[in-house]
Amino acid sequence: MWGALFPGQGSQSVGMGRFLFEEFQSARELFEQASDTLSQNFKTLCFEGPESDLQLTQNTQPALLLVSVASFRVLGQLVPFAPQMGAGHSIGEYAALVASDVIPFDAALKAVRRRGQEMQQAVPVGEGAMCAVLGLADDVVRKLCELVEKESGFAPLEPANFNTPGQVVVSGSAKAIDWMRNNVKQDWLTEKLGEPAGKPKFIPLAVSAPFHCSMMKPAERAMADVLNAIEFKLPRFHVVQNLTASISSDPAMIRTRLIGQISGAVLWSQCQSQMIQSGVTQYIEFGNGKVLTGLLKKISAEHPSVTLQSFNLNSLEDIKTIEAQFKGGLA
């Protein structure tokens, strides 16, 4: 069973999607459509940058959507690819829903541009931050956030991305994250929990806002109006949604979960486990980079009885590799 994955913010890089544009007319048409829809030259943004422009949230999100949808449509023209299930990481969920025909490409472009603007404006610069926490179980990270809020007096601090077992990103008050990095050690955590804890490692993330936490509620309220104005249709294939790590065929429910995703945690590890348990064994990451297939390898360690294959779409050679899978009768 095939699954489709769509990456999120952090996977962007200058030059992304260039080979699609140069080799495939359908990709060129999508770039033109995106540029006309948002009155912005996406060929220049994606291929030339500068990186500082591409990193702006309001630019990053539509650019990622564009490249992911372009790669999905190009492959669909070359091979009879029909995923049974898909998922997208954060902003990637919009690409998954476009691929599944739930929302139109134009409407999704406008929505993610607005999403990027609202998320950036929700919190004054410097007040929020995000930090990767390595080496702790999911439930321990949840307890850690509660302890830091209590002991530091700064809030909020909440799990934002459950990326893999042992890798959780937390989001919230910059002061709470600074306190955590300066004060939380293994012995301290073990004492506070009353049981052995892992050895935590903290890696601050270079982000412009504290995404996927309660500080994003203003953006969520604004996006509710935007998404409620878009017609959501029945999905062509199931999309496992970030907020609940579950699927729904009800367009209204899909919309509700997409709205809640803005301030809710991305349950990515749980989404991937859901896909594996549903029988998905072959994955294609549609978009720039290899972030999600890298996470999948770590998540798959939790399912040792299942053999998985994963593929990327970053070059013509990658496309040829996938084409060979279909010619070999493995679809």
User: What's the predicted TM-score (pTM) here?
Assistant: 0.95
Burial tier of 151 (Cβ tally within 10 Å: 0-12, 13-18, 19+):
middle
CATH top-level class of 2-122+214-327 = alpha beta
Q: What are the structural domain ranges in the chain?
A: 2-122+214-327, 128-204
- CATH tag for 128-204 (out of 3.40.50.300, 3.30.70.250, 1.10.579.10, 3.40.640.10): 3.30.70.250
Please report the pLDDT score of residue 329 as a whole number: 59
Average pLDDT, the chain: 96
**How distant, in Å, are the alpha carbons of 14, 59, 179, 213 from that of 313?**
16, 21, 40, 31
Please report the pLDDT score of residue 331 as a whole number: 45
The conformation of residue 8, written as its DSSP 8-state character, comes to -
What is the per-residue pLDDT across 103-121, written as a single tens digit (0 to 9) for each? 999 999 999 999 999 999 9
Q: Which residues are catalytic, by number? A: 90, 212
Residue whose entry in the numeric block shows the structure tokens 């803005």: 262
**Lowest-pLDDT choice from 24-28, 51-55, 212-216, 257-261:** 51-55
* Residue 161 bridge partners (DSSP): 169, 266
Asked if domains 2-122+214-327 and 128-204 share a fold, the reply is no
165 close to 172: Cβ distance less than 8 angstroms: no
The conformation of residue 166, written as its DSSP 8-state character, comes to T
